[in-house]
Chains A and B, each alone.
Chain A
């Protein structure tokens, strides 16, 4: 417990500084856009209606979806920019998060500023005109000061929303306090989840209170309150951002990881090897499985581990299954030709989709293969992870065996295993390298018709690192070096409830076992 707390606390300077930087930039950008827009909207009903409607519409989009939508959008714009100007830009991480949060922050600022300005006493506005003020003078000297408390209340709401929603920037590759929550959820590290929630709540509350002090200072015309609030905010931001200034510049290499334990461990393993060679490395955890390949192809990350079947179906859009070796060979040439991506080689284990059952249920129903499952399926419930049901593999299995379940339920992987243990579901979509299969003695149903493609774990290298000697030297020894038992043990060390290791510690342990093996021959 205290170990996990200490581990979480060590990550705080990095996560907090990134979180504050993102929220602060989004809020400032939101203010810069919203204030002039609100002033124009308060003058003209023709602008007011579309501006407020647009901002309200943005609020109806779930914030996670809004963040996710900006990635493909920016990727397309970046590709356009590249074809026009010869320069693209990073579509992953800070930029999509910034834009989504900026949009998200606009409604309260817009709405309150319009209400504040249009709410100024008409007699006072007329007096300003009658005294001979220009429109700009009237705005600056009369309307804005009188609307300031209402505007400030809007900024306060926007700040709290932005800080909260910034935790959702993690899946688009931007480090934030959400890293605690997302990776904690995957590895059942509830200390980390709680740590992330408390940290972002404390940050939001502190900012809210200081802005509230400024708001009351403006409302009651107590300038010292405004100054105390502003100075405390500036000092707080400077303190939170200081680790960014200390960590000089960008890391030389960026390793990506999807959002599950095996990926965290392998990313840490690759990072350790690069660091051992003297390079600086940043790991980007929790990337969505659809975005991570595009991020690699675009050069936003340098390397990550993917699975042959996933690439075969989702990237090459193939539905056939020519066999393990043919898939690997086909991928290697197709990815290189199409995207310039280098398939360095397989790590030596498979992490295949497999349907699994509890041993007692399997024995009671007499189900050991997908063939024997099919007739029983109409009485059974299938639990799956969030993406399995929309993947081609599921359609392939479904049509090959004519599977029809009574009910389908999607879970975070962590909760999927719980649901199986509790009997809420009868069959789950498991991963063959998952440590929990061995730990819980699950029965993996065989696939006699070979409907599921092979899932060799492979290292992919981005086109711009294709000839990077240092990267290749660090990662090539991993090829063929990890068998499925080793990987399962490492996964279990992170996923289990007791004596839990962090992914970094598990990677260190894995690295030690690899060193005792003879060098890979391939």
Chain B
């Protein structure tokens, strides 16, 4: 369980985030939804200490995050970056192996794990020897995901993990990840600006705007008529799109 209590952060430009209070249950798939500048990426980075909060605290499984060195905490948390940030001087396999190496795994176990993850993200084994520069954007994001998963973290923080993918691959990888999340019993927090993606993958949606949480609930609650007006406005666009697609489909059937 991740407990966020009174977290605030003000940047030099005057932009301020929080105070944030948020509880993420173990095993949950939480989506933080919001437009650009809403503070969702900063919130994610404050959870694993990449951004230091001005006040408030984060507790993971009841232990305050500040109780241990930041780098030790981060080794137990998988993080997928929006810019991916693969190490350009390391091969795909070496990139995936970074986490296990930091955790001090034996070499054969690391090699085995790399093979396993290449299969999981549906990349042929020979890709392992390539440098990131030789991969497509989608392949790089898959490798970024595999790298975050490699050291078997219990918590996954993902910042727009499927952003650079074409829609087909994006949906497929999203579904694949959801299956993995369930099979491994992960606790996942995903930041996205894509309303449909958030609603379809997460079991809890947190909506942020101008540095504050304005709503949280299950996807069903988000779509219900009782929701806050701002949330209803956010949900209107995908609902409208879905209705129009349905109408087009009916028109096609009618011909």
Contact = CB atoms under 8 A, between A and B. Distances in A.
A279 interface: no
A146 B87 CA distance: 9
Contacts of A141: 87, 98
B72 A130 contact: no
Contacts of B76: 132
A474 to B, nearest CB: 64
B99 A130 contact: no
Interface of A: 121, 123-124, 126-134, 137, 141-142, 145-146, 221
A134 B81 CA distance: 18
Contacts of B86: 124, 127
B118 to A, nearest CB: 18
B88 A131 contact: no
A149 to B, nearest CB: 10
A416 B67 CA distance: 79
B102 A137 contact: yes
Given A132-B99, A145-B89, A146-B88, A127 B81 contact: yes
Nearest to B132: A124
**Which are the 5 A-B pairs with shortest beta-carbon distances?**
A127-B85, A132-B75, A132-B74, A123-B83, A123-B85
A121 B85 CA distance: 8
Contacts of A134: 71
Given A123-B83, A123-B84, A126-B50, A131 B147 contact: yes
Contacts of B85: 121, 123-124, 126-127, 130
A133 B79 contact: no
Contacts of B98: 131, 141
A135 to B, nearest CB: 9
A143 B48 CA distance: 22
B215 interface: no
A215 B250 CA distance: 65
Nearest to A135: B71
Given A123-B84, A130-B79, A132-B75, 17 more contacts: A121-B88, A123-B83, A124-B86, A126-B50, A126-B81, A128-B87, A129-B71, A129-B74, A130-B50, A131-B74, A131-B79, A131-B98, A132-B71, A132-B72, A132-B73, A132-B99, A141-B98
A124 B89 CA distance: 11
B116 to A, nearest CB: 19
Contact of B87 (A127, A129, A132, A221): A127
17 contacts: A121-B85, A121-B88, A123-B83, A123-B85, A126-B81, A130-B48, A130-B81, A131-B98, A132-B71, A132-B72, A132-B75, A133-B71, A133-B102, A134-B71, A137-B102, A141-B87, A145-B89
B131 interface: yes
A128 B99 CA distance: 10
B25 to A, nearest CB: 23
A221 B129 CA distance: 13
B206 to A, nearest CB: 21
Contacts of A131: 74-75, 79, 98-99, 102, 147
Contacts of B131: 221
A121 B133 CA distance: 14
Contacts of B75: 131-132
A127 B145 CA distance: 12
Interface residues of B, number: 22
Contacts of B87: 124, 127-128, 141-142
A132 B84 contact: no
> Which of B50, B88, B131, B147 has the most A CB atoms < 10 Å from its CB?
B88
A336 to B, nearest CB: 68
A164 to B, nearest CB: 33
Nearest to B159: A130
Contacts of B74: 129-132
Contact of B81 (A123, A132, A145, A221): A123
Contacts of A137: 102
A221 B98 CA distance: 19
A413 B71 CA distance: 68
A140 to B, nearest CB: 12
A131 B84 CA distance: 12
Nearest to B144: A127
A124 B79 CA distance: 13
B74 to A, nearest CB: 4
Nearest to B73: A132
B109 to A, nearest CB: 18
B231 to A, nearest CB: 30
A146 B89 contact: yes
Choose among B85, B86, B88, B99 the residue with the greatest number of A CB atoms under 10 Å from its CB: B85
Interface string B113-153: 00000000000000000010000000000000001000000
A135 B88 CA distance: 18
Interface in B180-214: none
A198 B104 CA distance: 54
- Of B73, B81, B147, most buried by chain A (CB within 10 Å of CB) is B81
A504 B4 CA distance: 86
Contacts of A123: 81, 83-85
A221 B134 CA distance: 14
A132 B148 CA distance: 11
Nearest to B99: A131
Contacts of A124: 85-88
A141 B99 CA distance: 13
Contacts of A127: 81, 84-87
B60 to A, nearest CB: 14
Contacts of A221: 89, 131
A221 B90 CA distance: 10
A128 B76 CA distance: 14
B89 A132 contact: no
A144 to B, nearest CB: 10
A132 B101 CA distance: 11
B82 to A, nearest CB: 8
Contacts of B89: 142, 145-146, 221
Contacts of A133: 71, 102
B129 to A, nearest CB: 12
Contacts of A121: 85, 88
Contacts of B99: 131-132
Nearest to B69: A134
Interface in B31-48: 48
B76 to A, nearest CB: 8
Nearest to A130: B79
Nearest to B102: A132
A328 B185 CA distance: 100
Contacts of A126: 50, 81, 85
